[in-house]
Amino acid sequence: MLWRLTWVLPIAAGIGAVAVAPLARARSVPLRALGPVLVGALIVVFGTPLWSFAAQGTLASHPAWKLWDDDVQEADAILRHAAPKATILAPQKTSQTLLILSGTIRTVDPLDRYVANLSQFRKPEYKGRYHPRVRERLVLDRFIQAGLGGLYSRKDPARYVAKALHRVGVDVVCLFPARYTSEALLRKLGWTRFGGVPGLRCWDKP
């Protein structure tokens, strides 16, 4: 995510230039160095290092994912169970972690705005070869987040979810605990519960 902070680079260069400029023409070398040294000291004293606890960072002695351990454990458990090219419906944070750890599986909705942008593939130049099912994906995400009660805009939410699961081609569904209406529908549709995923309740398609 550091690419989103590239706008900071010219600001840092500007601060350096401002710090050096007042004493740039001084004859004494130590005096010319005084400005940058003072600015550096202020950054050290009042700045927050990327690896500090305050910045939610950690130091690792070996190559490591820049992810929370809980998210990695959930995703690893799902990947151990799912087929290599499975389509997985899971909470967005879990979906994002799955995509980072695996280069083959697909997720239904890792981020709403990304899913919404899939609608561009319905344009004529793509000749209808791909249907992104944007509406179904967004509804399925609400289904696992809030259950059938969250689909208040649908006349028959259970029927719509059943069709959406089929049309999107979902192979695995993972829910947070206590999503009782969602679990009841999956059970009714013949989905099979499997364990071993910490923090989530997961189901296999019939």
The residue extents of the domains of the chain are: 2-55, 69-204
Closest CA to 144 of 113, 172, 176: 176
pLDDT of amino acid 49: 75
Measured distance CA(114)–CA(162) in Å, rounded: 23
Single-letter amino acid, residue 170? V
Measured distance CA(140)–CA(166) in Å, rounded: 11
pLDDT (tens, 9 = 90+) of the chain, 206 residues, equals 555 667 767 776 777 777 667 666 667 777 667 777 777 787 778 777 777 777 666 777 788 788 888 999 999 999 999 999 999 999 999 999 999 999 899 999 999 998 988 887 776 666 666 678 889 999 999 999 888 877 766 678 899 999 999 999 999 999 998 888 999 999 999 999 999 999 999 999 99
pLDDT of amino acid 119: 80
pLDDT of amino acid 125: 67
CA dihedral (66, 67, 68, 73) in degrees, to 10, reads: -130
Paired with 75 in beta bridges are: none
Closest CA to 191 of 167, 168, 162: 162
pTM of the complete model: 0.73
| Residue 115 burial (10 A CB sphere; 0-12, 13-18, 19+) | buried
pLDDT of amino acid 80: 95
